[in-house]
A and B are shown apart, each in its own frame.
Chain A
Amino acid sequence: MADLHLDNVSKSFGTLEVIRNVCLDVAHGEFIVFVGPSGCGKSTLLRLITGLESVTGGRIFIGGVDVTQVRPSDRRVAMVFQSYALFPHLTVAENIGFGLRLAKRPAAVIRQRVDAVARTLRIKDLLDRKPGQLSGGQRQRVAIGRSIIRSPEVFLFDEPLSNLDAALRVLMRLEITRLHNRLQATMIFVTHDQTEAMTLADRIYVFNQGRIEQSGTPMDLYNSPSNRFVAGFIGSPAMNFLPGKVEQTGDHMMLKIGSTRLRLDQSFTSVSHREISVGIRPEHLRVVESSAGHVRAEVEIIEELGAEVIAYLQIEGISDPITIRLPPQRHVVPGQQVGVRFASEHFHLFGSNGTRLC
């Protein structure tokens, strides 16, 4: 069965270490999303899994078989490239059947398989066109068609939707979910888009500088990020980070943010006398009358998004602005003095090295 297992995989280009001791386990049929900042090595990891690049350390198992030294085409993986990588001189049918033709399968078999794939992806009437005559979404489908015809065990998608416009992205996203439901194959999907990551993934892997920062279900990552990096990376608009100080007063712990002091719950007792970073998501902040808030702030910019309002506020004594997500009927105007209340049960506290404190 097609589980994918990476055992301590590393990759260096010369002295540049791009992938550092990555271990990951993907169960059969799982939909995995890789996210991470640009240049963190997501594409490189996919290329290692396909065999287009060879590892400099560690081993790769697909379906329990060590494929580290196996040729790319024998690994039963398929990849859909960001640029689609369709052969411009071949028709859609020839593109989809390219691998079968290389394998010298009889023409009748090829045609039959291509037809079947085309039917699944609803591109039957495009078969005689060249890629240049297709729209972005159609090209995407052809690229997917080429990858599914050999019924691979693992599908790899490297930012496949990033060249499409917003509406088409949503359509293709649904298309890929449908495909996953039908094929029940293992899929790994690289994206920069938060919504894609949250909606598609069974599990998300967050990468940074060639390492896995955290993995888990989308809600796991959202609700309990294990470090400051993940907390800041998952969620849009991003989590706010405020400088805070933990102090012991009497028998409780107090958290000092700007000019205000908040009482901390029992669970925070492990912290003492430390400069920390307090993370709080934009939806866990409330705007109130200026006298009723934990802190005073001035509204700087308002972004009306229809279903919600994003406000950027400047808190007294704190240099970076904070982001607040408001219901659409909330009327605040730039320049207004307001109070901000924190929902302290939603605090994420991180130490100065970025690790989660509780």
Chain B
Amino acid sequence: MIAENTVSVVLAGVGGQGILLASEVVARAAMHAGFDVKTNEVHGMAQRGGSVIAQIRYGTKVHSPLVPEGTAAVLGALEQIEAIRFAQFLAPDGLAVVSSQAIVPVTVSSGQASYPEDVPQRLAALFPRLAYVHADKLAAAAGNTRTANLVILGAMSNGLDLPAEAWQEAIRTSVAPKHLDVNVRAFDLGRKAV
């Protein structure tokens, strides 16, 4: 159905977790590696703590910025149940990188719904290739809990055929110079965690 040589990546999480930056880094890494790239992001209403996804596609020539369901090479989730919510995007042989972080939605706190207690089991059943990463711990180890997005990205990079230099260059061109070191450390910790 889709051009064979287009690689698709999906990032999922909760608005405010740094998905936009993560998606920019993937796109720039692909660009530095010489590929055509398209991304898609969510702005506006959904950014206020709702479920959000970002999509990145690269290859010799990319048409649609939207990832067709069932085709992503890698799905990265910054919050664990968001991986389940968007699992249909992943290709059957794709890599799922899931943060162990749980963010309880207000629908749960106000008693309208409940947060599943068997998340690890669900993830294991859904994803044959699963990397369950303690992203907030690793981010703290890197020096800033807000870099969990880069930890997940580092882990995801193992499932994408982009050279290490392209990733480094992408991080350098996407984050502010004063936050560069901590972001690079977070990325490296994630990359080694898989």
Q: Do A and B bind each other?
A: no
**A interface residue numbers (CB < 8 A to B):** none
